């Protein structure tokens, strides 16, 4: 995987893919599936997401202030759903789902080698955590797998159906006010 600038997180997240989130607490890694996330701002980059006490990952995220937001593609569709339908209290999800944990550069949570991209994050603001489980994250490093052919992400329709990325419509020439954001991933 190639390391790219953390300011590029919006190029991976604004489109709203379903993501996996890894944490590590006292050496024990876990993974959850997450559909509730958004970009908050481009610069400095901030991401918001919902992870509450009802998620096993909440304890590790709260304790360490670190996680990795990993972006799976369609080849992992069933795994993404199954990860979201069992709990890290009972299962070692890396082992059960045959995923490869790789060391991150800046956080204790591991990267997932099988994902298209991995965004290392640190918790930047906990003001709305108690009320909604809403964490504001700062991306601190991003890894992207340049070699893979499969790049289609999944969008959860909220009910167990997922819309797969279709064709791409290029309207960059009309984005006259936003040229600064047209950088390569």
Provide the binding-site residues for its own copies, judged by CB under 8 A.
Answer: 10-11, 13-17, 35-41, 46, 48-50, 74, 77-78, 81-82, 84-85, 125, 127-128, 131-132, 134, 136, 152, 154-178, 181-183
To its own copies, the closest distance from the beta carbon of 134 in angstroms equals 6
CB 26, min distance to its own copies, A: 26
CB-nearer residue toward its own copies: 127 or 146: 127
- Least distance in Å: CB of 60 to its own copies? 20
Residue identified by tokens 């590029």 is 8
Tokens of 22: 């890894």
- Using the minimum distance from each CB to its own copies, give the nearer residue, 79 or 108: 79
Which residue, chain included where needed, has tokens 């099988």? Answer: 114
Cβ closer to its own copies: 10 or 143?
10
Query: What radius of gyration do the chain's Cα atoms show?
Result: 16
CB of 26 or CB of 170, closer to its own copies:
170
Residue 37 beta carbon to its own copies: minimum distance, rounded to whole angstroms:
6
**Sequence-separated contacts (24+) of 82-88 with Cβ below 8 Å:** 83/20, 83/31, 83/32, 83/33, 84/32, 84/33, 87/56, 88/30, 88/31, 88/32, 88/56, 88/57
- The span from the CA of 169 to the CA of 175, in Å, is 13
């Amino acid at each position: 995987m190639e390391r790219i600038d953390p300011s590029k997180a919006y190029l991976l997240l604004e489109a709203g893919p379903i993501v996996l989130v890894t944490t590590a607490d006292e050496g024990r890694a876990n993974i959850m599936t997450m559909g509730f996330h958004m970009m908050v701002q481009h610069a400095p980059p901030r991401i918001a997401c919902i992870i509450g006490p009802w998620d096993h990952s909440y304890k590790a995220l709260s304790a360490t202030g670190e996680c990795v937001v990993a972006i799976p593609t369609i080849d992992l569709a069933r795994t993404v759903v199954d990860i979201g339908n069992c709990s890290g209290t009972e299962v070692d999800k890396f082992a059960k789902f045959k995923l490869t944990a790789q060391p991150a550069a800046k956080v204790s949570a591991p990267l997932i080698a099988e994902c298209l991209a991995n965004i290392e994050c640190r918790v930047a603001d906990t003001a709305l955590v108690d009320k909604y489980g809403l964490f504001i994250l700062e991306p601190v490093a991003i890894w992207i797998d340049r070699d893979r052919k499969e790049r289609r992400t999944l969008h959860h329709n909220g009910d167990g159906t997922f819309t797969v990325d279709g064709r791409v419509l290029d309207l960059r020439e009309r984005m006259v006010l936003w040229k600064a954001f047209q950088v390569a991933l």
